[in-house]
Amino acid sequence: MALTSLMSRLRGRSVREVARLTLLNTRVAFRSLSKQERARRRADRAFDRRWGTDTSSALSVHALGIDRARLSHSRRYDPSSEEMFRKPLAALKLKPEEFDFVDYGSGKGRVLMFAALAGFKSVTGVEISARLSAIGRANLDRFAAPNPNLPPLRIVEGDAASFVPVGKQVLAYFYNPFDHIVFEEVRRQLERCLVCGTERLVVIYANPEHASVFEKAEGWVPGPTTPGASTFIAIAPEGLRDEVDHPSRAADNRRVLASGANQ
């Protein structure tokens, strides 16, 4: 199974991309032995002890119960550290209360909890694994019980490539949850938001293995970078920025997009 997983990650990659991935994995392996990484793991466990949650332990992609058609495009579950979330967020210097937050590949829900504590307007996780979705919802229930003033929290179980977020300003978080094929599909769905009412999209991409999906796409500009994370920003065309307040116009745009997709 390990060989199958490895081959799926290398399929379709150029020699340069394979070399980059090899170097990245080597760095990760060495980093796991460092004092800093051991401290991070202790902090992960402390987070779970505080809230009575289960977010720290990793799960192999083959243990996630994902449909075979999507299995080769998916990645194992590894939790984001709080630092991985907070450093790029601080570098962006945005106001969380003005943004709807979406975590793609939300797993056991840890980043959703970070986002709720950070004060985002709403917090949504998108997760294809039914097993992880169930664990994530149980974790959110435990987390929310002593925190009655949290923003709306939910996990949408389904394919990220079919999900279109809603909000005037949206921050999308990725901890390298899938391969470049799914990333392309997800990016196109994000771009649909910009003609359906969303004024501004901000992406935080931790462990940015497929950063070229945004770097090479028209309309996306790089934001600040932090160790292990890249950010990207897209703005709606000037004439479309009032559509959150004009849902009928947004619906017209969705019909145009749908008809174009079917041609």
Q: Which stretch of DSSP H or E encloses residue 229?
A: strand 229-235
Whole-angstrom CA distances from 91 to 34, 56, 64, 204, 213 are 25, 25, 33, 11, 21
Q: Which domains can be identified in the chain, with CATH numbers?
A: 34-261 (3.40.50.150)
User: How confident is the prediction along the chain (263 residues), in pLDDT tens digits per residue?
Assistant: 445 545 555 555 567 766 765 665 665 555 556 676 767 677 788 888 998 998 887 766 665 656 666 655 556 667 788 999 999 999 999 999 999 999 999 989 999 999 999 999 999 999 988 888 999 999 999 999 999 899 999 999 988 889 999 999 999 999 988 888 889 999 999 999 998 899 999 999 999 989 999 999 999 999 999 999 999 999 998 754 544 444 443 444 444 334 333 33
What predicted TM-score, i.e. pTM, was given to this entire model? 0.76
Extended strands (E) in 58-163: 100-104, 122-127, 153-157
Structure tokens at 86: 């907070």
Distance of CA 199 to the CA centre of its chain: 19
* 217, amino acid identity: A
